[in-house]
Amino acid sequence: MRGEYNRNGYEIWIGARIVYTAGNHVHDSTQCATCDRDRLVLKTIRKFCIKTAREIVEEHSGRFAGVERVSEPS
């Protein structure tokens, strides 16, 4: 299990399948922020990505393979 994150949010992967996604909005993780004041900083997004990936690993008795910053889509 691994995580990928960027300024837009993060994804948790098990193998080749995305099992969880979250946006970058400070008040609603299901949304992407439309302005800077509502956007989480990258360090916080990374922290949430790690935390969520570790929680999912425990639920699925998997192995945590780390997180990686990826490019934002153009």
As for how many domains the chain has, the answer is 1
The model's confidence at residue 74, banded by pLDDT at 50, 70 and 90, is low
Tell me if 73 is assigned to some domain: no
Tell me if 57 is assigned to some domain: yes
- The pLDDT of 54-64, averaged and rounded, is 94
- The pLDDT of 48-67, averaged and rounded, is 95
Q: Give me the pLDDT at residue 42, please.
A: 97
Say how far residue 62 (Cα) sits from the centre of its chain: 17
Tell me if 29 is assigned to some domain: yes
Residue 38 belongs to domain spanning: 2-68
Tell me if 74 is assigned to some domain: no
Residue 32's alpha-carbon distances to 5, 28, 62, 64, 66, in angstroms, are 13, 8, 29, 26, 23
Tell me if 53 is assigned to some domain: yes
